[in-house]
């Protein structure tokens, strides 16, 4: 079915407004859960191991987001971290209800809700919402916004020596081998600082709005990066995504699950001269 431009535009607006509502609803659940946290309310469980946990709040936040989406746009298919795929329809949603659960469960106020929406395979909006700072980062209609204001990031600096790198490497729960340790040594001796903040989606949002010049992530899932790559794209930032074989691929809806390594950087950052580009090209990260 083809759909004419004004109808498509109004559908995109509806999807974006539902996405915002869903992100704020999930964020409210997460914020309340964080402020009122106790062992009884958190009910922390392990997923893949001691380094990968889920709390009752993750599940409740995802339910809150899904309830809004089902009630407003029932013809949706949703991939939620905690519930997997549900529903059918041309609008696809990819949701991480709390990105940064380890921070959340330990009492560190650095976590977010991440929601990306697509229509007929095209990105419609990406939202990363930090309910503790009440910061809503949004990409829609080719624009990057923070709490409704268009953001025009300025370049911090363009080389490793003068910028910070955000990264989740080396990954939790996995003993890095010698090659991975050496790669990490290259990172810490090349960049002014390497920071591991504990939320992949916020790492990407921070690069998009220009708080940090570059981020490198590995061992993530589609819901960790779906909204963040839309934010970086809306900022005209650089997105370097590789599959498991080290081939460069697009981080679009169809290929998100195949992305295994991801560098995002501000537009002006000199990626080719960065130690990251060499490590990525050699498959050493």
Site size with Ca ion, rule: CB under 5 A: 5
Nearest distance in Å: CB 137, ligand IPD: 15
Interface positions, 133-152, toward ligand IPD (CB under 6 A): none
Give ∠ CA 281-266-130 in degrees, rounded to 5.
Answer: 110
In terms of phi and psi (left: phi > 0; alpha: psi -120 to 50; beta: otherwise), the region of 259 is beta
Is 99 a residue that touches ligand IPD (CB under 6 A)?
A: yes
> Which residue, 65, 57, 63, is CA-closest to 18?
65
Residue 241 binds ligand IPD (CB under 6 A):
no
Maximum alpha-carbon separation in the chain = 56
Window of 60-68, 79-87, 146-154, 202-210 that interacts with Ca ion by CB under 5 A: 79-87
Q: How far apart are CA 66 and CA 84, in angstroms?
A: 12
Let me know: does 166 contact 195? Beta carbons within 8 Å: yes
260 binds ligand IPD (CB under 6 A): no
Beta bridge partners of 80: 84, 95
**Could you say whether residue 200 binds ligand IPD (CB under 6 A)?**
yes
Minimum separation from the CB atom of position 250 to Ca ion (A) = 21
Would you say 99 or 160 has its CB closer to ligand IPD? 99
CB atoms within 10 A of CB 165: 27
Q: Using CB under 6 A, which of 76, 91, 101, 266 touches ligand IPD?
A: 101
Give contact residues for ligand IPD (rule: CB under 6 A): 96, 99-102, 168, 198-200, 219-220, 224
Give contact residues for Ca ion (rule: CB under 5 A): 81, 96, 98-99, 224
């Amino acid at each position: 079915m083809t759909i004419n431009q004004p109808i498509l535009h109004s559908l995109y607006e509806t999807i974006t407004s539902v996405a915002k509502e869903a992100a704020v609803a999930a964020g409210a659940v997460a914020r309340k859960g964080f402020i009122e946290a106790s062992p009884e309310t958190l009910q922390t469980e392990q997923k893949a191991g001691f380094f990968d946990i889920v709390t009752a709040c993750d599940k409740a936040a995802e339910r809150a987001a899904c309830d809004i989406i089902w009630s407003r746009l029932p013809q949706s298919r949703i991939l939620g971290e905690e519930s997997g795929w549900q529903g059918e329809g041309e609008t696809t949603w990819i949701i991480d209800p709390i990105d940064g659960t380890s921070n959340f469960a330990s009492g560190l106020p650095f976590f977010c809700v991440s929601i990306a929406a697509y229509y007929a395979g095209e990105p419609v909006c990406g939202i990363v919402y930090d309910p503790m700072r009440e910061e809503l980062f949004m990409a829609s209609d080719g624009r990057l916004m923070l709490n409704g204001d268009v953001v025009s990031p300025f370049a911090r600096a363009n080389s490793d020596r003068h910028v910070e790198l955000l990264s989740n490497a080396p990954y939790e729960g996995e003993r890095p081998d010698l090659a991975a340790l050496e790669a990490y040594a290259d990172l810490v001796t090349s960049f002014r600082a390497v920071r591991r903040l504990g939320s992949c989606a916020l790492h990407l949002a921070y690069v998009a709005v220009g708080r940090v010049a570059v981020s490198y992530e590995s061992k993530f899932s589609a819901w960790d990066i779906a909204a963040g790559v839309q934010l970086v794209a809306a900022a005209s930032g650089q997105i370097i995504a590789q599959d498991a074989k080290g081939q460069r691929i697009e981080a679009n809806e169809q290929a998100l699950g195949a992305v295994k390594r991801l560098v995002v950087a501000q537009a002006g950052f000199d990626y080719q001269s960065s130690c990251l580009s060499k490590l990525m090209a050699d498959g050493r990260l």
